[in-house]
A and B are shown apart, each in its own frame.
Chain A
Amino acid sequence: DGGITQSPKYLFRKEGQNVTLSCEQNLNHDAMYWYRQDPGQGLRLIYYSQIVNDFQKGDIAEGYSVSREKKESFPLTVTSAQKNPTAFYLCASMGQGYPMNTEAFFGQGTRLTVV
């Protein structure tokens, strides 16, 4: 079955550590996105990528980094520079070019907690 997979579902980070969240899709989508969601809040865009080896900052990119070496994969690293990383992280992908560009598919999310 085609879909988008995030791992792990739960992740714990110690102060000063970098952690990497995985996002893999087998939908042959060009565009991929990372969002952050805080309790009771909406979605905030961290980074997005429309093509392999290219990505752009979203609204809250500070303290995060990404790579897009393969079409299927868009990992997010939460660095020690991110002072308040505890949140729910969502990855999404979308096809490009009308009419494909009509909906995004989301992973199940990774809940990151600083301990």
Chain B
Amino acid sequence: GDSVTQMEGPVTLSEEAFLTINCTYTATGYPSLFWYVQYPGEGLQLLLKATKADDKGSNKGFEATYRKETTSFHLEKGSVQVSDSAVYFCALSDPSGAGSYQLTFGKGTKLSVIP
């Protein structure tokens, strides 16, 4: 079945530091890839997405590139802010898989940014 593996947290960075959260996946078909963000006590919000190889998703200074050859979708931001403190989930949607239209999530990475 499909799976998503993302780096374990928690991650603690100083403000303006560079952020990378690694994400790799396995899928039976040709998935769409996502990063979601969850702030304390809230639901998940879509941060960015990519639907085909070499697509780059970007939003709010965050970026991730769909790398089919390495089955990866790493999240990056050049300069984090305190307001970026949250839990980040990597996910995929595989319309060709046995569980069609079922999202597969990583376990989440908690990011804390300190002033």
Contact = CB atoms under 8 A, between A and B. Distances in A.
Interface string A80-104: 0000000000101010111101111
Contacts of B34: 103-104
Interface string B86-111: 00010101010000111101111010
Interface stretch (B19-27, B42-50, B69-77): B42-50
A92 B107 contact: no
A41 interface: yes
A103 B49 contact: yes
Contact of A106 (B41, B44, B95, B110): B44
Given A42-B107, A43-B89, A94-B101, A103 B32 contact: yes
B46 A42 contact: no
Nearest to A48: B102
Contacts of B45: 106
Contacts of B51: 99, 102
Which 7 interchain pairs have the tightest Cβ spacing? A42-B107, A106-B43, A106-B44, A102-B32, A108-B43, A109-B43, A42-B108
14 contacts: A33-B103, A42-B89, A42-B105, A42-B106, A42-B108, A43-B108, A50-B100, A90-B44, A94-B101, A94-B103, A103-B34, A104-B34, A106-B36, A106-B43
Given A42-B106, A43-B89, A96-B101, 20 more contacts: A6-B43, A41-B107, A42-B105, A50-B100, A94-B93, A101-B32, A101-B93, A101-B101, A103-B34, A103-B46, A103-B93, A104-B46, A104-B103, A105-B46, A106-B45, A107-B43, A108-B42, A109-B41, A109-B42, A111-B41
Interface of B: 32, 34, 36, 41-46, 49, 51, 89, 91, 93, 95, 100-103, 105-108, 110
